[in-house]
Each structure stands twice: as structure tokens, then as C-alpha cells.
Amino acid sequence: MDTRVRVFLIVCFCAFVFSFAIQTVFQKIVAGDMSTWGFAPGWQREIAFWNVGCAIVAIGSLRLKSTRDALPVVLGFTVLFFLLGTNHAFVLFQDPVSKFHWPPFVSNMVGLFFGVKTLVQSRGGTMSGNGTLQLDVKDSKKTKKTIDALIKRTEGLFKSIGESISTINQDPFLPANRETITTENLKIAQLRREVANAIAKIDPLFEAASQVLPSDDVWVLETGEAIENLKRGRAAYM
């Protein structure tokens, strides 16, 4: 998942937990006495329960691997920030000196700004905060072709390694085969290095492509399995 999306969801989770505390523990002190809406325990508890639901959605979204799967949640929270901020803005327009409504108005507008920014930036191919590659959907199509080509090449390298091992095992004790065995061993060493390099290239590309494609995408599932097979093959031949 894109780092920006993950950070935004974590901030949203914290905001929902904070709002829950305001509407339960401090509902009389803060929301009741300082708000122009007055003290309404029943409605405030309903709002608190609503925040619990949103917090659970945020936690569940953080478990997603694909950025594309998480973006609808980011959009939903961004719209929610807009609506809540607008609601407090109407009160401030009528009563600018109201103490309670300024903080939620500002915080929701900040959430709206970063929500929109996250949605826009998450569609571009960039580097995440931890240095991993981030792609957009258009780039992922090209990356898929690159990964498929690398997988095919790696499978060919495994085949070449197998052929070299078969050549060595034909009759390794004959003196006439010593030169051949030396040559094949050098070839195998080179092929192993190429396999390691190919798999090292495949992993970050596949991770980046998986972030912008649905987790149940057929290509993602089949390619993920193919990569695992390559790694098992590497363990066997290396």
C-alpha cells in the first residue's frame, strides 16, 4: 500500500478515536457546554458509536495490500471531512465567537485537504517514504510485461542450469570430461548469479504493480504463484 494512503488512514483512525472520547467521556464538558448545539447525551452517544464503526473500517483498510483497494475508503473519509467541516462552518457563520466549533472546523478542513492530496498523488508513479516504487495504473501495464519477460527468462536460466548439471552427471569420473565439467561449473555459477539478479528485479516490480491492481486480479494471483515457484527453484539450484 502507498505510504501516503497508510498514513492518512492512521490519522483518520486517531481522529475517530479522539472524537469518540469527546462524545462520551467529555460530552458534557466540551460538546455540551461549549457547543451551540447544546447537551444531547443520546445523540452524542450515537455519534460516538458512528466513530467506532469508522475506526474499525480504518483498521480494516490498513490490512489491505493494494492501494487501489484502499482508495474508496480514503475517498469516503475525505467526503466525510468535507461534510463535517461544512456543518461546523455554518455554525461559525452564524456565531463566529463559538469556542467549540473552531477546532473541529479547522481539523476537518485539514483532513479534507490531505484527503484530496492523497487521492491525487496516489494515482502517480513515485517513490514511497521507505524507498519502494509506486506506480499508477498506466505504468503497471508496462511493468506487467517486464515482469512476465523476467519470469520467462528466469525459467530459461533454470533450464540451462539443469542441462549443465545433467552434462556434469553423465560421467564425472572420466578424465576426458574434466575440462567439460570445469566449463559447466563456471557456466552454472554465472547462471545462478543471473537468476539471483532477475529475482531481485522481479520482487520490487511485482510489489509495486500489486499496489495499484486489485488483490483478486488474475494476473496478480498467477504471477505471485509463479514468483514463489521461481524462489523455490532458486533454493533447489542455489
pLDDT tens per residue across all 238 residues of the chain = 778 888 999 999 999 999 888 888 877 776 666 677 777 778 788 888 999 999 999 999 988 877 778 889 999 999 999 999 898 888 888 877 777 778 888 998 999 999 998 888 776 544 344 444 444 444 567 777 888 888 888 888 888 888 877 776 766 555 556 667 777 778 878 878 888 888 888 887 777 777 767 767 787 888 888 888 887 777 766 6
Closest C-alpha among 122, 156, 152, 148 to residue 137: 122
Q: What is the pLDDT of residue 165?
A: 76
- Res 83: pLDDT: 93
Q: Could you give the C-alpha distances from 210 to 61, 100, 112, 126, in angstroms and in order? A: 16, 44, 27, 15
Q: Looking at residue 172, what is its pLDDT?
A: 55
Please give the pLDDT value at position 236: 67
Q: What is the pLDDT of residue 81?
A: 93
If one counts every other C-beta atom within 10 angstroms of the C-beta of residue 80, the result is 19
Q: Give how far Cα 214 sits from Cα of 3, 15, 95, 178, 221, Å.
A: 17, 28, 47, 53, 10
Residue with cell 523455490: 232
Interatomic CA distance for residues 125 and 145, integer angstroms: 17
> Domain spans of the chain?
3-121, 137-237
**Residue closest to 80 by CA, chosen among 108, 53, 55:** 108
Give the pLDDT of residue 77. Answer: 93
Asked if the 137-237 domain carries CATH number 1.10.287, the reply is no
